[in-house]
Chains A and B, each alone.
Chain A
Amino acid sequence: MLQKYALEMKNIDKEYFGNKVLKGVDLKVKPGEIHALLGENGAGKSTLMNILFGMPVIHSTGGFSGEVSMDGKKIEIKSPDEAMEKGIGMVHQEFMLVPGFTIAENIKLNREVLKYNPISNAFKKDSLRFLDYKKMNKDARKALDTLGIDIDEWVKVAGLPVGYMQFVEIAREIDKSNVKVLVFDEPTAVLTESEAKTLIKAMKKLAQSGIAILFITHRLDEVMDAADNITILRDGELVATRKKEETNVLEIAELMVGRKVEVTNKAKKEEQESQETIISIKNLNVDMPGEEVKGINLDIKKGEILGIGGLAGQGKIGIANGLMGLYKTTGDIEFKGEKLKLNDTRSVLNKGLAFVSEDRKGVGLLLDSSIQQNIVITAMQIKESFLKKYGIFSQLDKKGIVNHAVSMIKKLDIRCTGPLQATRRLSGGNQQKVCIARALTLEPEVLLVSEPTRGIDIGAKKLVLDLLVQLNDELGMTVVITSSELAELRSISDRIAIIAEGKVEGILKPDASDADFGLMMAGEYNKLRGKEAI
């Protein structure tokens, strides 16, 4: 039997500046099939979707190689508009809804049904034609009915529960009459459990009407519930394509994570593993947009390297930012037995915590200032070092600053033309080292590092990680490293806390099994293993 695929992507390769992000990926979706696409952050899912939608970012970086075909015909998609024309729709993760408009107006956004009037005829301008609200409402009603949503089309979107907003988005895609392939990009991330169930029901209904659905998600139970077939990507490679009936959650979790890097030859220091808790976090809530922390309890031991991992948007980034008081935080944090004042960055820095931000260019560096300025600025503010005091006036201790900067440059091997070079000109890895140098200038007891290797090349990655291990070994500094790259956490950490949905899902040793890591990141560990324990 020769089955035509609604969408077929064959042997897709894509490079970003010599960095291969997709290596020979295949994807086949039949009409009426729900196909789940799984993978960690950075596995290549978004790049694959960008190719499918002909995003400008693909074509401005040299295009891709491989074949895309729909209904057996080879197609070339050069822009999102073309993708729309060909019948590929996307339900965005963030809502593209105008709150002050009715549901019908939102569904018909910029595709309004128009009717003629004498003036528009006289000027021959479509923009002067009146909107045909009756017809718009009717079309919207039809799309909502297809989804099985019982909600009035003339209600304003503002104030609707989030779940309904998602449905309005979907209704908009369905209303585009020719839609053949519909991509759901983590549609359930913002939904409650019951809303997610309704959504999956609606997806199945859509699939029955012959639309091919590509379902991107992190929730494995939803995959098992909804999908017919599952494709798993890892590091830009196709790992496996499975039929739902032939697999289980455990296998999927294992396939997603995989063993990427051998655990490095980190000196085991079992004997000096201390039991003394240096920071104890109780019921921490951080209101960081996109990375909300919802009640975390975590003890950080003195002298350890604690890794904090998890998928993007689950809240791992929020922990360090909350500790430092950069976002609104509630909860109890004890540092060496003393209560830490929340939401007060200055006092936290004074206590001996230092932070290397994940947002290197935004928060981390004064890009147009020199390396030496960047290295000393926090210490100058907090500890008033590098200052000469004359009564109420103070002046920079230029000599001290230069000396310190030069020694840091040497110590951390920052490749630059000298301490006066502007940090904007440095490579990512060296910028990161400047950030670390500044944190070290504070002589902290605990170093919080977020995404230290984001956006820097492999060689520099290793250097930065080695530096963290070295600090931990030689100075006994407690290091808390937050990273999206599980492999790198596993290579240097003593313990790894995995965050899912704003909470600690569990704490693992770096040599725990891939399946455990996978389950935890998907937030399924306690559900599954918990049952086994009983």
Chain B
Amino acid sequence: MADVNNLEAVQENKEKSFDIKDFLINNMVTILFMILCIAGVYFSKLPMFFIVNEIMTRLTRNSFLVLALIIPVLAGMGLNFSITIGAMAAQISIIAVTHWQVQGIWGFLLCAVLTVPIAMLFGNLVGRLLNKTKGQEMIASMIAGFFANGLYQFLFLFLVGKIIPVNNPVLILDNGVGVRNTVDLSRNNGIKYVLDNIWKVPIFHFVIFTGLLIIAYGLYRMYRESKSKATKVSKAKYIIISIVGLVILAFGIVVNSSNELSQTLKMISNLKLSAGTGLVVLALCLFNVLIVKTKLGQDFRTVGQSKHIASVSGINVNKVRVIAITISTVLAGLGQLIFLQNIGTLNTYGSHVQIATFAIAAILVGGASVSKATIGQALLGVLLFHTLFIVSPKAAKELFGDAQIGEFFRSFLAYGVIGVSLGLHAWKKTLKAMRK
């Protein structure tokens, strides 16, 4: 076997070829956003206390929706714009539960129980549509979202009151037909903050916890890698991860135990994180990790890599794709519930409209692409995207004297980043083909 040496050379080559240029090209969007975020935080002159508080709220509020995008990417269906439809399912159940006046946490759970079957139905239908439009999943799911929005408006502006009798002056417009534009969730059924308020944890306790978690992950992976014949590079990676965890842990302990803190840190240490919501997000992360290790997850990956090979080896490609979209839609529905219980008001005709755009922009900022997305990218993306969201109006006001410019910048960013990321993805593909 003379070729074996040759093969090893190939492998070695691959490892050594980590070069800074490739790294920059591959992470262009993320790096750009990091720079923008740091600059924005600096120029906005907002107090750290405020920024950290906002980021925390938004991380717990939005992460679930963004994480819902991962499975379809895995199954090769691109970014699922039809999570809007999952959000509609959530809003339908919220309106129903508000009408039935089920209060508090029970109301929230009932919402969740109602959302799941509705979202499963919707997801199944979208999945079937996407099976008919293979290769154009993203545009098809986007248009499906717009179409569903029309049906949604038809339901709540016409059917409710005209066909479905609902006698509820709080929900229904004064003329008896159609649901009001806004539904206050704190007064009417009180699901506002129910999940967030279950368990509040001081932020630096959370920091310590995170540190421990990261160290545990790093050590576990190192243990696994040392057993298999892994490469040095990946070992080094996990050592770095463990050290980062150690730093975070040390920082958390110091801040927690010390009395001589700067004013800012003291204020920040008074902040409390909604650990209940955090745990739900964590559970979803875990779900995403575990499902990849199942037979179903392997089928997602096979279909994602090659529909042809998958079908030749006996996998029912269409079914797997429908399952992927259905899971994503259900998760999006639950994500929208978490989102709305934090916001506290349901904008009946507006809350769902933008979520797909923003969630997709966030995951792309984190470094994901049409064909690859990880949990880390999703969380990093939420962090960066929303940091910029928080600071950009103030930064613009400080720099240009007009907060409106920051607002423009925000929406420009959301759409711009999607366009640029899609363009870059295509460009990288041709680059790869040319290198061949």
A residues lining the B interface (CB < 8 Å)? 81, 96-101, 105, 109-110, 112, 114, 120, 126-131, 149-152, 154-155, 159-161, 163-164, 194-195, 198
In addition to A100-B301, A159-B10, A194-B2, 19 A-B residue pairs with Cβ atoms within 8 Å of each other are A81-B314, A97-B309, A101-B302, A101-B305, A110-B310, A110-B314, A127-B294, A128-B296, A129-B295, A130-B295, A131-B294, A131-B298, A151-B4, A151-B7, A159-B14, A161-B3, A163-B3, A195-B3, A198-B1
- What mask results when residues 34 to 73 of chain B are scored 1 for a CB within 8 Å of chain A, else 0? 0000000000000000000000000000000000000000
What residue of chain B has the Cβ atom nearest to residue A126's Cβ?
B295
Taken together as a complex, chains A and B put the C-alpha atoms of A96 and B299 apart, in Å, by 15
Is A100 touching B305 in the complex (CB atoms < 8 A)? yes
B residues 263-311 touching A (CB-CB < 8 Å): 290, 293-296, 298-299, 301-302, 305-306, 309-310
Complex-state Cα separation, A152 to B314, whole angstroms = 26
Specify which chain B residues have a CB less than 8 angstroms from the CB of A149 in the assembled complex: 1
List residues of chain A with CB within 8 A of the CB of B312. 96
Determine the residue in chain A with the shortest Cβ distance to B313: A110
Smallest distance from the beta carbon of B91 to chain A beta carbons, Å?
29
Enumerate chain A residues within 8 angstroms of B14, measured Cβ to Cβ. Answer: 159
**A120-B294, A127-B294 known; A109-B305 Cβ under 8 A:** no
Structural contact, A114 and B295, CB atoms closer than 8 A: yes
User: Does B262 lie at the interface of the complex (its beta carbon under 8 Å from any beta carbon of A)?
Assistant: no
Say yes or no for B315: interface residue by CB 8 A criterion.
yes
Q: Could you tell me the distance between the alpha carbons of A110 and B309 in the complex, rounded to whole angstroms?
A: 10
The residues of A that contact B228 with a CB separation of less than 8 Å are 154
User: Contacts A109-B309, A110-B314 known; A194 to B3 CB distance under 8 Å?
Assistant: yes
Which residue of chain A has its CB nearest to the CB of B4? A150
23 A-B contacts (beta carbon < 8 Å):
A101-B305, A105-B298, A109-B302, A109-B313, A110-B302, A110-B310, A110-B313, A110-B314, A112-B295, A112-B298, A114-B295, A120-B294, A128-B294, A128-B295, A130-B293, A131-B294, A155-B11, A160-B7, A161-B7, A164-B3, A194-B2, A198-B1, A198-B3
Instruction: Indicate if the CB atoms of B302 and A98 lie closer than 8 Å.
Output: yes
Given the complex, which residues of A lie within 8 Å of B1, measured CB to CB?
149-150, 198
State how many angstroms separate the Cβ of B6 from the closest Cβ of chain A.
7
Nearest-Cβ distance from residue A499 to partner chain B, whole angstroms: 25
Q: Which residues of B contact A130 (CB under 8 A)?
A: 290, 293-295
Top-7 shortest CB links A-B:
A110-B313, A127-B296, A98-B305, A109-B313, A127-B295, A100-B305, A96-B309
Known: A105-B298, A198-B1. A161 touches B293 (CB 8 A): no
In the complex, which residues of chain B have a beta carbon less than 8 angstroms from the beta carbon of A159? Answer: 10, 14
User: Could you say which residues of chain B place their CB within 8 Å of the CB of A194?
Assistant: 2-3
A87 CB, nearest partner CB in chain B, Å? 17
B229, CB-defined interface residue at 8 Å: yes
> Quick one: which of A97, A109, A194 has the most chain B CB within 10 A?
A109
Q: Which single residue of chain B is at the shortest CB-CB distance from A114? A: B295
Docked complex Cα distance between A128 and B301 (Å): 14
Q: Give the chain A neighbours of B313 by CB distance below 8 A.
A: 96, 109-110
